[in-house]
Amino acid sequence: MSRLWNFLHMLWYQTTFKPQPLPDDIRLEGLTAIVTGSNVGLGFEAAKELASHGISRLILGVRDPTKGETAKAEFARVAPNCNIRVWQLDQESWTSMVAFAERARTELDHLDIVLLNAGLKRLEFTRSPTGHEAHVQINHLGTALLSLLLVEPLRRTSQKTGKPGRMTITASGVAFDAPIRDVAKPKGGKGIIPWLDDPASFVPGQTRYELSKLLDIMWTRILAARLDPTEVIINTINPGYCQNSFHRVDPNAEMFSKYIAWNSAQGGYHLTDAAVRHPDSHGAYLTEQRIRPAPKFLYTAKGKETEQKLGDETIALFQQECPEANIEKFTKK
């Protein structure tokens, strides 16, 4: 019943709500933004909109620099005065993510906006080179590590300007359909991440993608509790059901998207809206470009316990598998 209700709600807002771009009077001159997954889809459109509003410096975090350069050329036509840089970023490589964050720390004199948008969707179990299931690695662990490492340059800028930095993580409304049991009661006495890395936990289809988006929402709340919102505001968003290459692995979703999906530009509006507006959105989930409740489970005692467990496991994993990140200074509340 819950899945049916969520589906009907999705149909309702996809057909009745029209995503809005940033108002023309919002200007971003003097600001620097990082957008990951920015060579295609929602990340591309979000970066393009930031450029069109006068942002001074734009860092494109992309897995394939060649594709990043193609995106850069497009943005340069929209904003010829914007300083656009293409930085390689692979969320399946600890070394790549640490190097990316180190560039942000040392090469940027300020950083105002971070849009963590890179992700993937697969219907079959795939193991990342790190040894983790691919959704766990890219959508959760990669996003979580970058969010921790990019706090420092955001905070440093905030201390100079007196304004909070902004960080937005792309989640999805499909998180409301995620199989809660896989995080609330992992089988075999395993932790959350070890259980999700086990092929026995994987059900072919979209459910693992749904679960990874729930992890994004949980991680946003976890990190928000550790950050001072006067220094860094972090939130997460549902960009809606959009037509783009992201669904190419899922023929059913791709076919259905022809009838009710928004275009990628409309999806991108949600990213920029969350990253630039809503100063009261620290730790919040936004959908339809407004703050809405997160999945109900997260407000229960079991949900809060599960959140705490996920946070502890994630940080412990980074300390073990990626000691070069030196995240200890970010782990204190």
> What residues are annotated to the active site?
172, 209, 213
Confidence at 7, pLDDT banded by 50, 70, 90:
confident
pLDDT of residue 333: 45
Q: What percent of the chain has pLDDT over 70?
A: 94
184 has pLDDT over 80:
yes
Average pLDDT over residues 164-192: 95
Q: For position 274, which CATH number holds?
A: 3.40.50.720
Q: What is the DSSP string of 66-84?
A: HHHHHHHHHHHHH-TTSEE
Number of domains forming the structure of the chain: 1
Give 12-60 pLDDT, tens digit per residue. 888 899 999 999 999 999 999 999 999 999 999 999 999 999 999 999 9
- pLDDT averaged over the chain? 93
Three-state DSSP class for residue 180: coil
Q: Rounded distance, CA 27 to CA 52, Å?
A: 9
Q: Is the pLDDT of residue 326 over 90?
A: no
Only one residue has tokens 């060579």, namely 39
Residue 1 reports pLDDT greater than 60: no
What average pLDDT does the segment 90-107 reach? 97
Amino acid identity of residue 98, one-letter, is V
Higher pLDDT, 255 or 105: 105
DSSP three-state, residue 165: strand
Written as one string, the DSSP assignment of 187-216 is GGG--HHHHHHSGGG--SSSHHHHHHHHHH
132, 207, 209, 229 from 234: Cα distances, Å: 26, 26, 22, 8
For residues 2-7, average pLDDT? 83
**Predicted pLDDT of residue 254:** 66
Distance CA(155)–CA(111), nearest Å, equals 9
> What's the pTM value of the predicted model, to 2 decimals?
0.95
Higher pLDDT, 8 or 282: 282
Q: What is the mean pLDDT of residues 232-238?
A: 98
The answer to whether 52 and 78 have CB atoms below 8 angstroms apart is yes
pLDDT at 331 over 80: no
Contact between 130 and 321 (Cβ < 8 Å): yes
Burial class (CB in 10 A: 0-12, 13-18, 19+), 280: exposed
pLDDT for res 65: 95
* Residue 188 pLDDT class (50, 70, 90 cuts): confident
**Region of residue 92 (left: phi > 0; alpha: psi -120 to 50; beta: else):** alpha
The pLDDT, as a whole number, for residue 2 is 80
Single out the residue of 153, 152, 155 nearest to residue 164, CA to CA. 155
Q: Which residues have C-beta within 8 Å of that of residue 170, sequence separation ≥ 6?
A: 37, 42, 43, 115, 116, 117, 119, 216, 236, 237, 239, 271
Strand order of the sheet with strand 113-116? 83-88, 57-62, 32-36, 113-116, 165-170, 232-238, 285-287, 290-292
CB atoms inside a 10 Å sphere around CB 180:
18
Confidence of residue 247 (pLDDT cuts 50, 70, 90): low
Higher per-residue pLDDT: 247 or 61: 61
Which candidate, 1, 308, 300, 6, places its Cα nearest to that of 177?
A: 6
> In which domain, by residue range, is 185 found?
2-330
pLDDT of residue 256: 67
Q: Report d(CA 94, CA 145) in Å as an integer.
A: 9
Query: Vertex 89, ends 88 and 91: CA angle to 5°?
Result: 160
Residue 93 to residue 235: CA distance in whole angstroms: 25
